[in-house]
Amino acid sequence: MTGKSKEEVYKELFAAGVTGDKLNSLALHKSFKGNRPSNSIVFTKLTPYILGALTAMYEHKIFVQGIIWNINSFDQWGVELGKVLAKKIQPELTTTEPVSSHDSSTNGLIAFIKNHRNKP
């Protein structure tokens, strides 16, 4: 995933009408480094077993990563970032057209989802 500098965030927030102390405060939380490690887990069919395994794995993974990287694993600003990114990707999942507007890993995941969406 590509990152977002404070300067980019300032421009976006200012364009949205945010100014003053609120601009400085939000910019700190909304900027992030890119090219961080991530996991992508894909499967062709969601079963109760897979759902349980995913839930247990993610609970453990998130906790351990937070300890190792010394970050707050339950940071609300990270959740907000995920929502923003999902809103950009969601419309792209509704078409059959190839997507190339993201980093290569995101483009690959979108392609995987599109290729496996209606398969048994």
Nearest to 5 by CA among 29, 24, 33: 33
SS3 98: coil
User: Distance (Å, rounded) from C-alpha 21 to C-alpha 28?
Assistant: 11
Q: Residues 15-73: pLDDT tens digits?
A: 999 998 999 888 888 888 888 777 788 888 999 999 999 999 989 988 898 899 998 88
**Res 16: pLDDT:** 93
pTM of the shown model? 0.50
**Res 2: pLDDT:** 77
Residue 53 φ/ψ, nearest 5 degrees: -65, -40
Does the pLDDT value for residue 117 go beyond 80?
yes
Q: Residues 75-109: pLDDT tens digits?
A: 777 778 888 889 999 999 999 899 999 989 899 99
SS3 72: coil
